[in-house]
Amino acid sequence: MAVTAPAFETIAPPAASARKRRYTEDQVPLGKMIWRMVAGFLVLAVFVLPYVIMFFGSVKTKAQIRSVDPTYFPQEWHWENYINMWSTPETPLPQNLISTIIISVFATLLVLLVSLPAAYYTARFKFPGRMVFLFLVIVTQMLQPAVLTSGLFRQFVALELIDTWAAMIFINAAFNLSFAVWIMHSFFAGIPKEVDEAAQIDGAGRLRVLFTISLPLVWPGIVTAIVFTFVACWNEFAASLVILSTAGNQPLSVALTKFVGQYETSWQYVFGVSIVAIVPVVILFMLIEKRLVGGLTAGSVK
């Protein structure tokens, strides 16, 4: 009697079948991919085109900009505009740039100095009035320097700090502190308390836990707070226009308006100063773009 071997069904390895299924799911039709690329280029053009026009305007003459039949591309490239604008009689641009850097950097440092311990304490400790404190912190975000300029002016006159960098450092720090506290509070609250307790069991003090354990874990949140605070201080206009009366103390945002006159406007310098003003911010975003994206998207997926 002949014995036949049992037939075994051929089963593909699970790993191979999973790779095949994932490859099939990840495939995008060519037409859909082309539409995505077109949409991406359109969005890019919408955001980049104003800066391109501004750059072309910065290398034109005033006559070319105000021509009856203007052109987007310069007929002649006047790169000397970027040199001449630093010595114009309207405003001392080198001092304005230094003023902007000092105010933005020191205001950002002051925000970090105050917001870090405040966010850590509110995230780690339960104390009476904690929610009221956090509510009042976020309420201050509703107030802007533009609606408080008269009060701020009287206050700094009384403190004898009017027309000083210190006044603008305090103002910018105060109006950006709430955002920094809230965003870093959420990051500190996302760290399990057991991490701090384990470090304390090993002999670490509260300050050492904060600086060596907690800060590295919330670094994306710190970077996000730094970027948004710095950009807000760099672009601040209303309070600077009222508080700072000396031309050399004013930031670039106020100095830019000096080229716009009642009867005549030096548009080539307006465009040139605008390009110079956005370069530091663009460089900052390029340097910390990865950490910034990580901070903005943290907590979106569990």
Structural domain includes residue 25: no
CA angle 200, 226, 121 (to 5 degrees): 30
Residue 260, strand partner residues: 265
State residue 28's pLDDT score. Answer: 66
Is residue 55 domain-shared with residue 128, that is, in the same domain? no
| Residue 138's CATH number | 1.10.3720.10
Q: Which domain range does residue 58 map to?
A: 30-79
Could you report the per-residue pLDDT of 116-132, keeping only the tens digit for each? 988 888 888 888 887 88
Residue 265, strand partner residues: 260
Total-model pTM? 0.79
Residues 148-173, mean pLDDT to the nearest whole number? 90
Is residue 34 domain-shared with residue 167, that is, in the same domain? no
- The more confidently predicted of residues 295 and 122 is 122
Q: What's the structural domain count of the chain? A: 2
Is residue 114 domain-shared with residue 236, that is, in the same domain? yes
Is residue 115 domain-shared with residue 220, that is, in the same domain? yes
How far apart, in Å, are the Cα atoms of 269 and each of 66, 86, 178, 282? 14, 9, 36, 20
Is residue 145 domain-shared with residue 286, that is, in the same domain? yes
Is residue 159 domain-shared with residue 269, that is, in the same domain? yes
Is residue 158 domain-shared with residue 41, that is, in the same domain? no
Could you report the per-residue pLDDT of 207-235, keeping only the tens digit for each? 788 788 888 888 888 888 888 899 999 99
Is residue 127 domain-shared with residue 59, that is, in the same domain? no
